[in-house]
Amino acid sequence: MSETVNLTIDGKALSVPKGTNLIEAAKKLGILIPHYCYHPDLSIAGNCRMCQVAVKGAPKLTIACNTQVTEGMEVATNSKEVKDAQSATLEFILINHPLDCTVCDQAGHCKLQDYHFEYNAKPSRFLEEKEHKPKAVPLGPTVMLDGERCIMCTRCIRFCDEVTKTSELGMLNRGDRSVISINPGRELDNPLSGSVVDLCPVGALTHRNWRFNSRIWFTKQVDSVCPGCSTGCNVKVAVRDKQVVQVKARYNSNVNKEWLCDEGRYGFHRFLPETRVLEPLINGKVASLDEALTKASKMFDDKTAIFLSPDLLFEEFSLISKFIETLPVKPFTCVQYKKRELSEVEKILVSPDYAANFKSAQNFGLASEDPSTQYIEGIAKLKEGSFSSVWIIGDRGIEEVEGISLPVNSVGFFTNAENNLKPGIVLPARSILEKSGLYLNKDLRLQFIDRLIDFPSNTEPEWRLINKIAEKRGKKLTDAQSDRDLTLSVLNPEISIFTLKEQGGVRI
Ligand code: SF4
Ligand code: SF4
Ligand code: FES
């Protein structure tokens, strides 16, 4: 058991493990010590001086990020002396900061604005000409630097040195002439490069492809999970007018810390096809949903295959497995899963699949221990014509089209009208960004994903289409009326949606 240390912070007693620093100790009491350069997953730089606190018996204020707890320590985070130091530090940091807030993408979620409001709120006394630095400098394909806004916290440099170990960034010059720079002959182009924008506490680093697209206060921000692979990184997605306008990492020490891969972050929009399936189709002609479901409900025989998208919800895999139990002959099932080679930097975070929820499929016996081989086998059999009835649940149930022709008895639950597979019956389904529910990541962590975007009318979530088909066959699988009802029906009493949200998922 780790040794614990007793101390008081602002008069409140607490015990924390030996080695904890004062910022983390204060967090346990719900006390935020303001900080810029400190990050729990990077080395301590101790250069911004924003985190100063008073420790009884110490001759002067000390920085909380680089001070570890000691037995009997008495810490004050809100004395007049501390408040004066916070205010003076902010005034100093802001001396050369441009009056850019009106055009800065970070406005509304910037730690300079927030702290100025909370800890300083005084007009500047600086009358001299401000130091000018390079603005709008591309650091690589994804990130833009505004040198004047940088407060030299070095989080971006430390991330590239310590996490990706690619060391693209450095600092040039001294004092108020210091500037972040790309090392000679380099580009900031590692697979996690966009993470430096999340780490930057101010507006110095911005995403090149999302600059100036929306003021943050015009967006709806939703806590969700990236459906890009089975790592299940926690994200905060800003949405405006049914468009994803920015994706940020959400801190989860058990999953992704505060990192995201660029493919996941900048590829979010791929889950929302531009041309939607908005009506059921039978042999390419618009039909009523009832007619399409009735026809589909008869398409099961002893040579049926069900290809499942790895984007489906845990709840949907649960319902599909229940449905299969009602069929006279168990069909072949597999989940679309393709292994790929990862670079050393990708291995820090990314999983070698594009199959975010394949573990849920395995959990309900719909995919084997080796989903990749099983999927390859399924596609080979399909090409040989071994199946007389084929179901594709979700756009990504089958990805390749070459050499594949579906039998007449085939059904696709699709969102993308451009899907080239052309099954006999197409049912209008929903994108994973339009549903809420559960994902099980590669480490069996059950996480809640929240709906990001309103779904178009006439579309149905896959689980409801399955339920309706089961009803046509005389079996009802669920009474759920909404995604949330369905989620509640699969959670056990110890796990609630609230627990999943508050704890960043739980291991099952
Ligand atoms: S660019 Fe941002 S993260 Fe990098 S040193 Fe400047 S303020 Fe810090
Ligand atoms: S590692 Fe996977 S889950 Fe994380 S951001 Fe990338 S694609 Fe998304
Ligand atoms: S957070 Fe402690 S000095 Fe920057």
Q: What is the pLDDT of residues 128-138, one digit of tens each?
A: 999 999 999 99
Query: How far is 277 from 281, CA to CA, in rounded Å?
Result: 9
Q: Provide the Cα torsion 98, 101, 103, 108; round to 10°.
A: 150
CA 192 to ligand 2 center in whole angstroms:
10
Does 229 share its domain with 372? no
State the chain's maximal CA–CA distance in angstroms: 84
Confidence of residue 1 (pLDDT cuts 50, 70, 90): low
CA 183 to ligand 3 center in whole angstroms:
25
Q: Quick check: 275 and 365 in contact, CB under 8 A?
A: no
Tell me the CATH number at 498: 3.40.50.740
Site to probe by mutation for ligand 2, drawn from 193, 195, 226 as the one with most ligand atoms within 8 Å of Cβ, is 226
Q: What is the pLDDT of residues 380-394, one digit of tens each?
A: 999 999 999 999 999
Tell me the CATH number at 59: 3.10.20.740
151 lines ligand 1 (CB under 6 A): yes
3-state secondary structure 433-459: HHCCEEEECCCCEEEEECCCCCCCCCC
- Predicted pLDDT of residue 94: 93
* Cα 490 to the center of its chain, rounded Å: 23
Q: What is the pLDDT of residues 26-47, one digit of tens each?
A: 999 999 999 999 999 999 999 9
Does 75 share its domain with 49? yes
Does 304 share its domain with 247? no
**Does a structural domain hold residue 208?**
yes
Q: Does residue 121 carry a pLDDT above 80?
A: no
Does 162 share its domain with 14? no
Return mean pLDDT, the chain: 96
CA 135 to ligand 2 center in whole angstroms:
30
**Does a structural domain hold residue 210?**
yes
Q: Quick check: 446 and 232 in contact, CB under 8 A?
A: no
Vertex 172 angle, CA 168 and 175, to 5°: 140
The pTM (predicted TM-score) of the whole model is 0.95
**Does a structural domain hold residue 414?**
yes
Tokens of 365: 């016996």
Q: How many domains does the chain have?
A: 3
Q: Quick check: 5 and 69 in contact, CB under 8 A?
A: yes
53 lines ligand 3 (CB under 6 A): no
Question: Which range marks the domain in which residue 37 is found?
Answer: 4-93
**Does a structural domain hold residue 348?**
yes
Ligand nearest to the CA of 262: 2
Tell me the CATH number at 224: 3.30.70.20
Looking at 93, 128, 147, the residue that finishes a domain is 93
Q: Does residue 470 carry a pLDDT above 70?
A: yes
Q: Residue of the nearest CA to atom 1 in ligand 2? A: 350
For 314, 491, 500, the CA distances from 319, given in Å and listed in that order, are 9, 13, 21
**Does a structural domain hold residue 199?**
yes
Work out the average pLDDT over 307-322: 98
Does 348 share its domain with 259? no
Site to probe by mutation for ligand 1, drawn from 36, 155, 195 as the one with most ligand atoms within 8 Å of Cβ, is 155
Q: Specify the pairing of strand 281-282 against strand 285-286.
A: antiparallel
**Does a structural domain hold residue 276?**
no
Tokens of 272: 């929302």
Residues touching ligand 2 (Cβ under 6 Å) are 226, 228-229, 231-233, 256, 260-261, 263-265, 349-350
Q: What is the pLDDT of residues 125-167, one digit of tens each?
A: 989 999 999 999 999 999 999 999 999 999 999 999 999 999 9
For 167, 184, 252, 256, the CA distances from 249, given in Å and listed in that order, are 21, 29, 9, 8
Does 451 share its domain with 327? yes
Site to probe by mutation for ligand 2, drawn from 231, 244, 250, 353 as the one with most ligand atoms within 8 Å of Cβ, is 231
Q: Quick check: 283 and 367 in contact, CB under 8 A?
A: no
477 lines ligand 1 (CB under 6 A): no
Looking at 93, 123, 158, the residue that finishes a domain is 93
DSSP secondary structure code for residue 202 in this structure: S
49 lines ligand 3 (CB under 6 A): yes
Q: What is the spatial order of strands in the sheet that 205-207 belongs to?
A: 137-138, 143-145, 205-207
61 lines ligand 3 (CB under 6 A): no
35 lines ligand 3 (CB under 6 A): yes
Looking at 50, 77, 93, the residue that finishes a domain is 93
Query: How far is 407 from 386, CA to CA, in rounded Å?
Result: 10
63 lines ligand 3 (CB under 6 A): yes
Does 344 share its domain with 469? yes
The pair phi, psi for residue 143, each rounded to 5°, is -125, 140
**Does a structural domain hold residue 488?**
yes
CA 170 to ligand 2 center in whole angstroms:
27
CA 155 to ligand 1 center in whole angstroms:
6
Does 286 share its domain with 327? yes
CA 20 to ligand 2 center in whole angstroms:
30
Does 447 share its domain with 473? yes
- β-bridge mates for residue 144, sequence order: 138, 206
Does 205 share its domain with 238? yes
Give the residue from 506, 498, 482, 507 showing the smallest Cα distance to 223: 498
DSSP secondary structure code for residue 294 in this structure: H
Work out the average pLDDT over 250-263: 97
CA 268 to ligand 2 center in whole angstroms:
10
Site to probe by mutation for ligand 1, drawn from 96, 100, 183, 202 as the one with most ligand atoms within 8 Å of Cβ, is 202
Does 195 share its domain with 149? yes
- Predicted pLDDT of residue 402: 87
Query: How far is 166 from 395, CA to CA, in rounded Å?
Result: 36
Does 383 share its domain with 399? yes
37 lines ligand 3 (CB under 6 A): yes
Query: How far is 173 from 171, CA to CA, in rounded Å?
Result: 7
